[in-house]
Amino acid sequence: MRSVIFRSQLKPLKASLFVNGFNNFTCNNNYKLRRNHTNAPSPLSILSEDEQFFKETVRKFSQDQIAPLIKKMDKEHRIDDELVKKLFENGFMAIEIDQEYGGSGSSFMSSTLTVEEIAKVDPSVSVLVDLQNTLGNNVMLKVGNKEQKEKYLPRLAQDTVSSFCLSEPSSGSDAFALKTTAKKDGDYYYINGTKMWISNSDIAGVFYVFANTDPSKGHKGVTCFIVERNQEGFSVAKKEDKLGMRASGTCVLHFDNVKVHKDNIVGEIGEGYKIAITFLNEGRIGIGAQMVGIAQGCLDHTIPYTLERKQFGSRIFDFQSMQHQIARAVTEVETARLIVYNTARLVDAGLPFIKEAAMAKYYASEVAGKVTSVCIDWMGGVGFTTDYPQEKFYRDCKVGPIYEGTTNMQLSTIAKFIKKEYEQ
């Protein structure tokens, strides 16, 4: 229980000393504090030189290489093959992979900035980049053994998309009720089952497959296996026809006695649960960055319109009611951004971040839904057409409260931490 001392509880003399002492400290030290500001923690929104360079590079790439392909990819339900190659060539698919393996050797914060910038232009492409960095690459970087790293990290850095295969037809939020099994026979395991809602699976070459090696142990039997796309018995089936994120492939996967050597186990037998939870927590920060990017991108396309469009002899922006709506939206987006940035900084600092990650995903998803909706309102009739990008941002953000843990799951996680903090 935290103790609180009210000023009225202090004796007059002590209260005077308290106030005067604090005032004296402030007067004597404010100048010094300001002069020595370089020793103070940096504001969350102030980026390092490397981070700023990364952000500007991604922004230019997105405008030059992604923007011209948005409508084509959305219509075809597929990310352009040449664009995928360029994402690899520019290092955006291997941000945290060490340089010795062909990666950029940068930080989680740089990954976060990259996802946000791409999402401002095309959220579907940001899904590809986000999942490659926060899930696929990081699982191998942090859990893979030496041989696995040497075999797979150069591929993941240069030309191979990865896919994280956890969800099944009967296990969504209750992910570890999965029914896919891996039966041991000598040095091999035979995987049988079906995965569903698997992002990037249409173009992936490497798959992290979660299967239960001992169903009697429940989630403690879940193990992570590496499966290659061309392995016998493995097939990528139906691609979902989705409301949004249409260029990002989401498919059903079938495993029919897929033979996997024990050397392709990531971590240890029964550690799949721990691996999935750990990296999905990091992945939620990436989703938060996506949602911030979507909201900001939508504002960037909408606010200039309100400064040009005139009604009743005045620009739409100049009506006070519009100014208040716009100010509220911009404030909410900035708030979401700061939560996301703070959580990414916690990851890079090696500090606990699970509660903050849940907050980032939950809040940024809520803000993106709200902001994209009002942007369509501000655009009027044209906002309801596909001639303008607002409708796509609106469609794309709808998945935010759903994938990588629903909003209700995030709120339950946050509440669990709040309870723990106040029961101590």
- φ, ψ (nearest 5 deg) of residue 79: -80, 130
Number of H helices, E strands in the chain: 13, 10
- pLDDT in the model for residue 160: 98
Using CA atoms of 119, 125, 126, 131 in order, give the dihedral in degrees to the nearest 10.
170
In the set 49, 391, 404, 421, the catalytic residue is 404
Domain stop point among 114, 135, 161:
161
How many CB atoms lie under 10 A from the CB of residue 322? 15
**Are residue 238 and residue 170 in the same domain, yes or no?**
yes
**Are residue 278 and residue 379 in the same domain, yes or no?**
yes
Query: Catalytic site residue 404?
Result: yes
- pLDDT in the model for residue 177: 87
- pLDDT in the model for residue 18: 41
Domain count, the chain: 3
Query: For 34-50, how does the pLDDT look when each residue is reduced to its tens digit (9 = 90+)?
Result: 455 556 778 998 999 99
Domain stop point among 138, 161, 184:
161
What CA–CA distances, in Å, run from 75 to 68, 92, 241, 247? 13, 24, 11, 8
**Are residue 130 and residue 172 in the same domain, yes or no?**
no
CATH number at residue 240: 2.40.110.10
pTM of the model: 0.91
- pLDDT in the model for residue 39: 66
Q: Say if 330 falls within a structural domain.
A: yes
Query: For 293-343, how does the pLDDT look when each residue is reduced to its tens digit (9 = 90+)?
Result: 999 999 999 999 999 999 999 999 999 999 999 999 999 999 999 999 999
Domain stop point among 252, 270, 288:
270
Is there a contact between 127 and 142 (Cβ–Cβ < 8 Å)? no
Structural tokens at position 172:
């969504």
The one-letter amino acid code at 206 reads V
Residues 6+ apart with CB under 8 A from 189: 182, 183, 211, 213, 225, 259, 260, 261, 262, 265
Backbone CA torsion sign across 204, 205, 210, 214: positive
- List the domain range (segments joined by +) for residue 307: 273-423
**Are residue 405 and residue 293 in the same domain, yes or no?**
yes
**Are residue 283 and residue 418 in the same domain, yes or no?**
yes
How do strand 222-228 and strand 265-266 relate by DSSP bridges?
antiparallel
Low-confidence ranges of the chain (pLDDT < 70): 1-39
- pLDDT in the model for residue 3: 40
